[in-house]
Amino acid sequence: MEAQQFHAFRKRLGRTQKELACLLGTSVKAVQAYEQGWRPVPIHVERYLVLLLVLKNRRTAVPRPCWEVVKCDDRVRRTCPVWELGAGDMCWLVGGTRCGGARAATWRQKMVLCRSCRVLRQALGEVPGWNPS
């Protein structure tokens, strides 16, 4: 996650730097450093930030399971941990998913797929700077 994306997420959440630091369990200085690009946004912070925005948007949108949105075939669905857990609206958060029939090896590789996926994009709504890479 780039600095401008981090900033856009904070603005969409309607939080000050201090309020976001409290939500993330970090310092205001860390939030400032992420927004200025002085420090890279750690993966765990990115996950949590995405989760917070998805939860905020969930109040106005009824999520559909990912396997319905992307029309996974039964073979892929049965081997996907998201289907086993019944967490089809949170597929972007769970590792080892079978998106496109294959598993992403790392969180960063997964996010490349998820950023262009309708499931996460619908869950987030429009966030400036959050484009497929």
**Could you tell me the pLDDT band of residue 132, with boundaries at 50, 70 and 90?**
very low
Other Cβ atoms within 10 Å of 34 Cβ, number: 29
Give pLDDT tens digits for 39-66: 999 988 998 998 898 888 777 666 788 8
Give pLDDT tens digits for 61-94: 667 888 888 888 888 888 888 888 888 888 888 8
Average pLDDT over residues 88-106: 81
